[in-house]
Chain A
């Protein structure tokens, strides 16, 4: 999709946009955390609901729209990923684990941003924030969001979510 086609369009309808985030997750988990993963479910949702124990969130800021990238993990999944990543076992979600979620989110976003800005998007640099605890976010006013659920190849019972939300117009 060229620059003219991108401007003013909902990025969730752009296959390249979504693929860049999916590739970001696949590459980051495989390379940084030695954890190959695969998609097992994806859907467009309107009620913006994420469940998990810890999540990295980056605000997406383009020229004429905003959104969010959210990488959310249940405790069991993130503790497995961090063990693979750092070679250290953590019994619980502590500051080190939260920091690692931030770095993973940062890498996924950086990977996608690099691809997308070469294609004409104008995504700005963003710093991840971390949400902690059993949470359900809702009442957010996006026009839509895409939920992609991944599972870890070595243990498919371990799953996590990537959610990309889109909000037409700047905040």
Chain B
């Protein structure tokens, strides 16, 4: 699993969902949780944390948000060399096949469909960690 000092960025326009995800992360022992209410605020947060030497280690983002939706954030993240391999989990009520495919093509690390329970999110995090870790080992 991701080290306990991993910094998470939770992106959702509903504070309730950010609170639910934060609670799951706290239960898993993660204290460093940043929040943003849409993609553009999340992008600013990613950049500022990077510049301050406290980089975000995992993004957990909603899809359907005003201003910049999660899918646009994902594309922007993948186009930037600083964040190209950053684990990015989409948590969304959008589960249509074409949307899942778009997210996969855009480089999403995993996809959690709402409604979900804490166990589902924990399992996805574990899976993303294993994949991310395997890629990092291969690259080394």
Contact = CB atoms under 8 A, between A and B. Distances in A.
A86 B19 contact: yes
Interface string B89-123: 00011111100000000000000011111000000
A96 B114 contact: no
A20 to B, nearest CB: 12
A163 interface: no
Contact of B64 (A85, A86, A106): A106
A31 interface: yes
Contacts, number: 63
B16 A107 contact: no
A105 to B, nearest CB: 10
* Residue among A86, A96, A103, A117 with the highest chain B CB neighbour number at 10 A: A103
Chain A, interface size category, equals: 20 to 34
A86 B114 contact: no
Nearest to A88: B19
A125 B64 contact: yes
Interface string A1-37: 0000000000000000000000000011011100000
A3 B94 CA distance: 20
A114 interface: yes
Given A86-B16, A96-B15, A127-B66, A31 B96 contact: no
A111 interface: yes
B115 to A, nearest CB: 4
A31 B117 contact: yes
A85 B17 CA distance: 10
A86 B20 contact: yes
A85 B66 contact: no
Nearest to B17: A103
B116 A31 contact: yes
